[in-house]
Amino acid sequence: MCGIVGVTGSDNAVKILLDGLQKLEYRGYDSAGIYVNDQSGEDYLVKEKGRIADLKREIGPDVHGSTGIGHTRWATHGVVSVDNAHPQVSKDNRFYLVHNGVIDNFQELKSDYLSDVPFTSQTDTEVVVQLIDKLAVEENLNAHDAFVKALTLLKGSSYGFLLMDREDPDTLYVAKNKSPLLVGVGDGFNVVCSDALAMLRETHDFLELMDGEVVTIKPDSIKIEDKDGNLVERDTFHVDMNADETDKGTYPFYMLKEIDEQPNVMRKLAQVYLSETGEPVISDKLLSSMKQADRIYIVGAGTSYHAGLVGKRLFENLTQTPTEVHISSEFAYEQPILSKKPFFIFLSQSGETADSREVLVNVNAAGYESLTITNVQNSTLSREATYTLLLHAGPEIAVASTKAYTAQIAIEAILAKALGESDNQIVAQRFDIRQQLGLVATGIQAIVDAKSEIEQLAKDDFLNTSNAFYIGRSLDWSVSLEAALKLKEISYVQAEGFASGELKHGTIALIEEGTPVIGIITQAKTAGLTRSNLQETMARGAKIITIVSENLAKNGDNIVLPEVDELMTPLLSVVPTQLLAYYTSLHKGLDVDKPRNLAKSVTVE
C-alpha cells in the first residue's frame, strides 16, 4: 500500500526520492508527492494524481534540495486527488507529513483539538500534521516533542510517519506502529523507506524500527528513542541484494519475468533447504515444536491462502497431522475452536499483511508457537513469529503473486517431508523431494518455453469474454481458486474457481454460449469425473480448455503438463494459468504489474 521515502544530507534528494518512489510503485498507489528543502530557505512541495511519471512531469528544473520526503498514496480516507495526496502540510506551511496506515480516531481528534483549523484535504494524515502544528505553536513545543505528544493522542492505529519541520529543515522524524519502515544508513546522509528495495542504490545497511519508537535523523546521526524516551542502541542489518535484481531488464512487465524465474526459484530452494544427499535441512527446534502439535493451522490471505490449501494436502499426506487452512481476516475475528496443541504457519510473501498480523498477535498472546514462511527477511510477521523460513524467491514486484506462490508450496513440501520423515511416516520416507523439485524445475521450464501457445489461447478465448471458470477437484480445485484470482485481478475478467462436482448444484447456471471453462486435471482419482463435468458445461455452450498431467492426457487436450508426483502438480498446473492471466491482461492493453485498486503489500485491515 502507501510507500514512504525520505533522505537527508544529499544534494541529490529529488532524484533519490523519485527513484525510491519508483521502486515502491509495485505496492500499489493512485497519487504521489514530494517535499524537499535546500536548507537555505527554498523549499518545494509537488504532488500529482496518477503515476510517478505524472509527478515527474510536474517537477520543474528548479526543484532541488538536500532533505526531503516522498510518498505514494493508496487512497483510504478521501478520493484520489492532489489535495489528498501526501505530503500533507500544516496550515502555516511549517510541518510536512507523509503517512502509511489508518488513524482510527481522526474524527475525534479533529473535533476535540482542531475545530478552528481550515482543512484542505479529506485525509486522516492532515489531521495529524495540523495537530502537531497546533501542539508546537500553542504549547510551545519543538518538532520532536510536538510529534511525540501527537502520537500519544492517536488511538488503535496502524501507521508509519515521516515528518519534516521547515524550521529545522535537515531533520527527519520517524515513528511507526504495525507498519513497515526502515532507516538506511549512509556516509554523510541517511534515508528512510517502507521497503529496503527503494533505497538499495543508496545503501545496503538498514536499521529495523520497533513499534512505538521515535527516531530523529540528521545527515550524520540517527537517534532512536523507545516509547518512554530512553535512547536505544541498535545494530544495522545488511541487505544482500543487488539493486539490479529489482529491475525488469528486457521484460515488458515484472510479472512475466517473475513467472520465468520460477524454475530457478525451485533450484534455489533445493540448494538452500536440502543437503547434498537430498535430505531436508530444517532446524531440529522447529521440527520438534511441530512434532508436538496435534493440529497445524495455516493462515494467509489471497494467493498465500491458496498456497495454504495445497499445504494442507502436503502436511496431511506426508505427516498425518490434521491441518486446517484459514483466511487471516476471518480467523482474526471468528477464531475456530483450537485443538489442545496447535501449531501455526503464517504464509505471507510480504510478511507485512495486516490481516495475518492481527492473527499472529493473538497467537502470541495465547502463547502458541508459530512459523512464518515469507519472502522478506526481517518483515513484521517474520520478527514476531517463533520461527521463519524464507522463500528465497528474490523480490516480487508485480502485484499479482506468482513465484512466491510456487515457492510457498515448495517450502511446505520440504517441511512436510522433513516432519513426516522425522516421525517415520513411510509416505514421507518414500517421497523423494530432491527428485521432485528437479522435475518441477524442468517441468516449469518446459511450460514457460511454450508460452506462445498460451498467448494464442488468451488471444482466441479471453479478450472478449466477461466471465471464465476454472474447475477441478481436490488439489486441482485449490489451483482453480488461485488461477481464477490471477485472471480477475489483472485482466478484470469475472473469473471463479469451482469444485467441479459442485457445478450441477448451482453454478452451471452461469454457463453461456462461448463461456471459457478451464478444467485442471492432475489427480488420477478424479480425472474422469472432472472430464464428465467439463462435458456437461460443453453441452451448455461452454468453450472447454484443458490443463492435464501427461499421464492423464488424451487427444485434444490443450495444455499437457510434464509428469511429477501428484502432490506436486499444483507447482506445474498453476503456471499456464499465470501465463493466461498475463497475456489476457497484456493484450487488453492493461497495466499488468499494477492492476487497478490493488496494492502489493496490504498493510491495513
Pairing mode of beta strands 387-390, 370-374: parallel
Q: Which residue out of 91, 134, 403, 600 is catalytically annotated?
A: 600
Give the C-alpha separation, 507 to 502, whole Å.
7
Residue 349 or 585 with smaller CB distance to ligand F6R: 349
Residue 19 or 593 with smaller CB distance to ligand F6R: 593
CB 500 within 8 A of CB 475: no
Residue with cell 522463500: 391
| Part of the chain binding ligand F6R (CB under 6 A), chosen from 56-64, 300-308, 361-369, 540-548 | 300-308
Give the C-alpha separation, 312 to 405, whole Å.
14
Strand order in the sheet with 467-472: 494-499, 467-472, 516-521, 543-549, 559-561
In the complex, least distance from residue 301 CB atom to ligand F6R, rounded to whole angstroms: 4
Residues 204-263 that bind ligand F6R (CB under 6 A): none
Out of 90, 203, 353, 578, name the contact with ligand F6R by CB under 6 A: 353
Residue 348 or 546 with smaller CB distance to ligand F6R: 348
Out of 10, 84, 171, 356, name the contact with ligand F6R by CB under 6 A: 356
User: What is the contact mask toward ligand F6R in residues 1 to 40, using x (rule: CB under 6 A)?
Assistant: ----------------------------------------
Residue 387 or 431 with smaller CB distance to ligand F6R: 387
Residue 190 or 303 with smaller CB distance to ligand F6R: 303
Q: What are the helix and strand counts (H, E) for the chain? A: 19, 25
Q: 337: burial class by Cβ within 10 Å (0-12, 13-18, 19+)?
A: exposed
| Part of the chain binding ligand F6R (CB under 6 A), chosen from 265-273, 281-289, 302-310, 546-554 | 302-310
Backbone angles phi, psi at 297, to 5 degrees: -115, 115
In the bound state, the residue with its beta carbon closest to ligand F6R is: 302
Give residues with Cβ within 8 angstroms of 333, minimum separation 6: none
Q: Which residue out of 2, 23, 193, 451 is catalytically annotated?
A: 2
Out of 169, 280, 302, 394, name the contact with ligand F6R by CB under 6 A: 302
Q: Compute the Cα dihedral for 200, 203, 204, 205 and give only its sign.
A: negative
β partners of residue 441: none
Residues 384-403 that bind ligand F6R (CB under 6 A): 400-401
Strand order in the sheet with 214-218: 88-89, 95-102, 158-165, 172-177, 214-218, 221-225, 231-232
In the complex, least distance from residue 402 CB atom to ligand F6R, rounded to whole angstroms: 8
In the complex, least distance from residue 314 CB atom to ligand F6R, rounded to whole angstroms: 18
Give me 313's grid cell.
494436502
Residue with cell 554523510: 188
| Part of the chain binding ligand F6R (CB under 6 A), chosen from 188-196, 250-258, 297-305, 431-439 | 297-305
Out of 179, 350, 500, 577, name the contact with ligand F6R by CB under 6 A: 350
Q: Which amino acid is at 305?
A: Y
In the complex, least distance from residue 489 CB atom to ligand F6R, rounded to whole angstroms: 6
CB 434 within 8 A of CB 414: no
CB 592 within 8 A of CB 255: yes
SS3 helix, strand, coil % of the chain, rounded to 5? 40, 20, 35
In the complex, least distance from residue 404 CB atom to ligand F6R, rounded to whole angstroms: 6
Residues 466-485 that bind ligand F6R (CB under 6 A): 485
Give me 387's grid cell.
520461527
| Part of the chain binding ligand F6R (CB under 6 A), chosen from 75-83, 150-158, 283-291, 343-351 | 343-351
Residue 1 or 150 with smaller CB distance to ligand F6R: 1
List the end-to-end C-alpha distance of the chain, in Å, as a whole number.
Answer: 11
Residue 100 or 304 with smaller CB distance to ligand F6R: 304
Annotate 69-87 with DSSP letters as a single string: EEEEE--SSS-SSTTTSSS
Q: Which amino acid is at 296?
A: I
Question: DSSP 3-state assignment of 218?
Answer: strand
Out of 84, 194, 303, 523, name the contact with ligand F6R by CB under 6 A: 303
Give the C-alpha separation, 454 to 472, whole Å.
19
In the complex, least distance from residue 419 CB atom to ligand F6R, rounded to whole angstroms: 22
| Part of the chain binding ligand F6R (CB under 6 A), chosen from 29-37, 348-356, 424-432, 566-574 | 348-356
Residue 314 or 592 with smaller CB distance to ligand F6R: 592
In the complex, least distance from residue 24 CB atom to ligand F6R, rounded to whole angstroms: 15
The answer to the question of residue 304 lying near ligand F6R (CB under 6 A) is yes
Residue 16 or 485 with smaller CB distance to ligand F6R: 485
Active-site annotation holds for 193: no
Q: How many residues bind ligand F6R (CB under 6 A)?
A: 14
Out of 246, 349, 406, 533, name the contact with ligand F6R by CB under 6 A: 349
The answer to the question of residue 489 lying near ligand F6R (CB under 6 A) is yes
Question: Interhelix angle for 106-113 vs 124-138, to 10°?
Answer: 30
Of the candidates 597, 601, 486, the one whose C-alpha atom is nearest the C-alpha of residue 27 is 601
In the complex, least distance from residue 348 CB atom to ligand F6R, rounded to whole angstroms: 3
Residue 23 or 91 with smaller CB distance to ligand F6R: 23
Residue with cell 499494477: 594
Would you call the peptide bond into 87 cis, given omega within 30 degrees of 0 as the criterion? yes
| Part of the chain binding ligand F6R (CB under 6 A), chosen from 68-76, 96-104, 120-128, 296-304 | 296-304
Give the C-alpha separation, 29 to 52, whole Å.
10
Q: By CB under 6 A, name the binding residues for ligand F6R.
A: 301-304, 348-350, 353, 356, 400-401, 485, 489, 602
What are the catalytic residues? 2, 600
